[in-house]
Amino acid sequence: MKIHILTLFPGLFDSFLAHSIMKRAIEKKKADIRVHSLRDFTHDRHKTCDDKPFGGGPGMLMKPEPIFEAYETLFGKRRSKKRSGFCFIYMTPQGKRFDQKMAGRLSRMKELVFLCGRYEGVDQRIVDALVTDEISIGDYVLTGGEVPVMVVVEATVRLLKGVLGREASKEFESFSQNLLEYPQYTRPAVYRGLQVPAVLLSGDHEKIGLWRQAQARKLTKDRRPDLL
């Protein structure tokens, strides 16, 4: 999978891509992730990427020119925004709420492009002409789109075949079956008087499976009944 990230602050992604699952995915060539500075697509000496909104109002908007030029440089001037296996994603509070199902859909794409917004957002012509998906990670406002992009990229890349050490682990994680994940324990079996549930020490895999399923349903009912 190819992933492009368009941002005003490319340095924010250095550590994100250099560790853990993201590093592993890149080293295994499961994901080709490239971060592009939008300031590289400006033509004035101040590398201006924002301006005041027409009609007045607070704050600044990201200008269309750098984003259109970045798109055309990377993908060509005549390529339609609606094509198989391709998504141009704008992270915005007005977008569709991101969830595990959406992560699964994105993981089946061949090429993803993420636009990190800043200030009061972007010129609407960018959305109309280029954007295929508007995505939000929650009902709150952040300073920019970089952190939301990291959330969506990690949730998506970890679903690519061969990225995780154990493929089966994806099947039992929270939300993969519309259930929160069951409680888990490790050694020692007793710590400061706190004991691991006896069923997990029984060696009876059928009973353990039933216990985990029951715990997952109970946890989901208590905390996220909307998932049931």
Per-residue pLDDT 10s for the chain (228 aa) are: 999 999 999 999 999 999 999 999 999 999 999 999 999 999 999 999 999 999 998 899 999 999 999 999 999 886 667 789 999 999 999 999 999 999 999 999 999 999 999 999 999 999 999 999 999 999 999 999 999 999 999 999 999 999 997 664 555 565 667 899 999 999 999 999 999 999 999 999 999 999 999 999 999 999 999 988
Q: Which residues contact 34 (CB under 8 A, 6 or more apart)?
A: 2, 3, 4, 5
Tell me the CATH number at 44.
Answer: 3.40.1280.10
Asked if the structure places residue 59 within a domain, the reply is yes
3-class DSSP state of 82: coil
Tell me the CATH number at 212.
Answer: 1.10.1270.20
Mean pLDDT of all residues in the chain?
A: 93
Answer yes or no: do 88 and 126 share one domain: yes
Asked if the structure places residue 56 within a domain, the reply is yes
Asked if the structure places residue 190 within a domain, the reply is yes
Of the residues 122, 157, 192, the one at which a domain ends: 157
Answer yes or no: do 199 and 123 share one domain: no
Query: Structural domain of residue 183, as residue ranges?
Result: 174-227
Answer yes or no: do 111 and 28 share one domain: yes
Q: Are 114 and 91 in contact (CB under 8 A)?
A: yes
Answer yes or no: do 126 and 31 share one domain: yes
